[in-house]
A and B are shown apart, each in its own frame.
Chain A
């Protein structure tokens, strides 16, 4: 069961990574890294149960906190002038 969950999480990770690599707009990338952080939390949690040592579950919880704070911090910087979005349109995904 945990094996299936791990495989599913790894596939979801690669999908999020593909969106972060290709993502035409900057919001795609922000969402991709946020989703990737969530997948990391899930990965660590499931890996703990897979190895029979679920003590690492609280560490996964702290990861969730870091992920949330990180995303809020990134979005906070979106208050700066819109040059980030303009420059991302010309060949950002190349």
Chain B
């Protein structure tokens, strides 16, 4: 048996074990820790699939940033998960399995991993992005030239959305701390 296939299977088994652990735990602090491990495992998997940049984003955002955001949220809200009604739990399980089945069905239409005749290699834009972009934009990294120039307006929109969301969260949290401060001032 191919050794890389064995690594794939072991990593995916660890992913499933982590996911089951996340679903079964009621205390949210261990769930945050396990979510970090889940993200590190996915990062390993992405590196195995030669998508190093995706793996890097996954580790930085999933394991680093989101864990801290989870903990900050627990400090502001609650640290335990309320039990859901069995009826709703069943409905959620059915929805998840249905979506999973649809996604697995969709992978049958995808080209094989690292196939030479995949659309990304045969599409007319392939030549434009990999060869012409070096003369047009003079950025050696193809991903950067696509993100920052060819679809620059799209990236601008994305950044605007993230910026707005960040300002909204910041305003909410700032208002809360100011109220606490003024409440303390009233007591004295």
Decide: B67 and A87 in contact? CB cutoff 8 A.
no
Decide: A74 and B67 in contact? CB cutoff 8 A.
yes
Q: Looking at chain B, what size class is its interface with the partner chain?
A: 35 or more
Residues of B within 8 A of A16 (CB): 37
Q: Looking at chain A, what size class is its interface with the partner chain?
A: 35 or more
Residues of B within 8 A of A54 (CB): none
Q: Is the interface of B mostly helix, strand, loop or mixed?
A: helix
Residues of B within 8 A of A74 (CB): 33, 67-68, 71
Residues of B within 8 A of A83 (CB): 79
- Contact mask B16-51 → A, CB, 8 Å, 1/0? 011001001111011001101100110110011000
Q: Please give the residue numbers on chain A whose beta carbons come within 8 Å of chain B beta carbons, in ascending order.
A: 3, 6, 10, 13-14, 16-17, 20-21, 23, 26, 29-30, 32-33, 36-37, 40, 43-44, 47, 56, 59, 62-63, 66-67, 69-70, 73-74, 77, 80, 83-84, 87-88, 91-92, 94
